[in-house]
Structure 1
């Protein structure tokens, strides 16, 4: 994303907040891999966002990253701007490295764990986002995250549609995601602690008790976010791209 697109995004956000009267906004950097912008540029962007918006709205920051580039310099900047961090991780080393490799085909697990350890040591708030690994041992994955000191975990539904789920159910059964999540819930509820927050279960509980879901995959509330692409295009929920090309397009640009 160029400086021009980023500044135009901030101006659009400022104008929207003045119009809507909302009191806070969260800027979530994700990708791709947002840490590729470099720690100095990220620091400058967070500073610029606060300077541009703080008179209008409270600004909060989040970073969703694969964790491979995180180091002490990143930790200092994340603390400086109170950025909440999400680490994308699939599970133990063998499982994680099956899909998450670098351009040389080498697994990224060791680099991710190193980055995660830096965040924990520097007291940067972080959580793990993990796509449900169908057919894998759910408790082995969950206990691995706990062993790394993770206190916030989200298990993400894999991107299948009504038209593509058939072969998955033939291979893994009619309820593959439930079969993965239920053992984790039972272990968390009967053997774990509420100090560990599993976002999926918290959101289901909120809905059952009459509250609102805080994630786009559960509940029917209107979305309270948009996506700004690197060229300035404004899009809706990006995961809908699995349904058809262009489904997320709004035809708008910052």
Structure 2
């Protein structure tokens, strides 16, 4: 048995099979990897997986994480068996945490009760208010899923289950950041949010087919999604729009919600500014500690690289711990650093970005070097925008004060800056405009929110 330090497995008991048909979900095409398969994890494989997961961890904390496709399609009994097996197989002093990523459609009172009883962190996929969510998150008939997702979420809320919303940022919602954020905060009442940029990579040849989407409606035409090409689909988020999306939400969050709402991008950024591990592979120097386990025991280097070139092996033939610590997987993770373009190595926000996810490194730097992240422009907008706030929050932490004091610190700085400003002299902000026409002028009313 090979013992491995902390690592993460996204286990997919139904493979790519899902009861929704989201247009941007390239994982639906992974059916093509296993033609004719039933896509259900067998009980024997479940036990093999959990045994190897628990035995191979050196650290006392182990996370059992389920994803898909849609994992709830396995039925509640499958997950009850999982918990029972973990209790039988865990070593003394091992602390187990459970998580599941779901579209929420099948969640009812029984599911919610099970999640609460076993302290399962439930990630629910929601793309914002109804119109934005239903733009791409549809069922097999092409109908929006919003009402069914919200019904499932209400069961979770009623049972006081820990919920983390996963929101993709795409062409439909990229220009509505506050509508999205305020919906999560004010209407859903969630406290934890992840924003995942939709970047559907493709080639010139496959672009027309990719633009049709990955849903079952295009099953006969869609290609197998692999990480190749230097183009993106029309559903993909635009780099600069993604940067604006994050900065707009950050400005709202930093004024009113620090310590109340937890946004993964902001937490990771603060960690990097503070010199601590980001806690998320995208913004870490290397990656490779999170693998994907398919329904049949196949292990892939990453959830975003479930394709033949990144198949590490099968746990029925090679123990999970050996696959995770294999030279091949170590090289996969180290390549994130080693293949970073020189343009990125000298970038002033490299410490916060680390080149982003390797799956998105398919554009060229200004001097023609391959490997620049498609989202680079947006990341620069975001990281440069939050720099002052991050530095202040780091100072507050070093003084054993709460980051939520940021608005007070900024207000005091601004008051001091404009205290002696003269109306007809240049504004102290450095804009070059007279103070009376800049920060000393009338306050412009806030724009009305977009009707959705």
Q: Please give the TM-score of this superposition, normalised by the length of structure 2.
A: 0.51
Post-superposition offset of 1:252: 3.6
Relative distance call for 1:25 and 1:45 in structure 2 (3 A) is same
Is residue 2:277 matched to residue 1:212? yes
Post-superposition offset of 1:160: 4.5
Post-superposition offset of 1:94: 1.2
Rg larger in structure:
2
Is the CA contact 1:87–1:126 (under 8 Å) kept in the aligned structure 2?
Answer: yes
Post-superposition offset of 1:172: 7.3
Is the CA contact 2:198–2:237 (under 8 Å) kept in the aligned structure 1?
Answer: no
2:153 maps to which residue?
A: 116
Is residue 2:135 matched to residue 1:69? no
1:250 maps to which residue?
A: 312
Relative distance call for 1:127 and 1:60 in structure 2 (3 A) is same
Give deviations 1:93-125, integer Å, cap 9, x for gaps.
Answer: 111112112222221101111111111111100
* Aligned counterparts of 1:101 and 1:166: Cα–Cα separation in 2: 21
Count residues in correspondence: 246
Is the CA contact 1:14–1:56 (under 8 Å) kept in the aligned structure 2?
Answer: no
Is the CA contact 2:54–2:62 (under 8 Å) kept in the aligned structure 1?
Answer: no
Matches within 5 A, 1:102-251: 102-134=139-171, 135-146=174-185, 147-160=187-200, 163-164=229-230, 175-241=240-306, 245-251=307-313
Is the CA contact 1:138–1:180 (under 8 Å) kept in the aligned structure 2?
Answer: yes
Is residue 2:59 matched to residue 1:22? yes
* Aligned counterparts of 1:99 and 1:248: Cα–Cα separation in 2: 28
Is the CA contact 1:26–1:60 (under 8 Å) kept in the aligned structure 2?
Answer: yes
2:43 maps to which residue?
A: 3
Post-superposition offset of 1:249: 1.4
Q: Does 110-119 or 100-109 show the bigger shift?
A: 100-109
1:13 to 53, 63, 71: 53
| CA RMSD of superposed structures (Å) | 2.1
* Aligned counterparts of 1:50 and 1:164: Cα–Cα separation in 2: 47
* Aligned counterparts of 2:184 and 2:61: Cα–Cα separation in 1: 31
Gaps spanning 5+ residues in structure 1: where? none
Give deviations 1:163-186, integer Å, cap 9, x for gaps.
Answer: 435787xx9765232121110111
Post-superposition offset of 1:226: 2.1
Give deviations 1:41-80, integer Å, cap 9, x for gaps.
Answer: 2112122122212436221100100011111100111112
Is the CA contact 2:124–2:163 (under 8 Å) kept in the aligned structure 1?
Answer: yes
* Aligned counterparts of 2:165 and 2:112: Cα–Cα separation in 1: 16
* Aligned counterparts of 1:173 and 1:108: Cα–Cα separation in 2: 25
1:36 maps to which residue?
A: 73
* Aligned counterparts of 2:232 and 2:296: Cα–Cα separation in 1: 36
Gaps spanning 5+ residues in structure 2: where? 1-40, 202-227, 317-452
Q: Please give the TM-score of this superposition, normalised by the length of structure 1.
A: 0.89
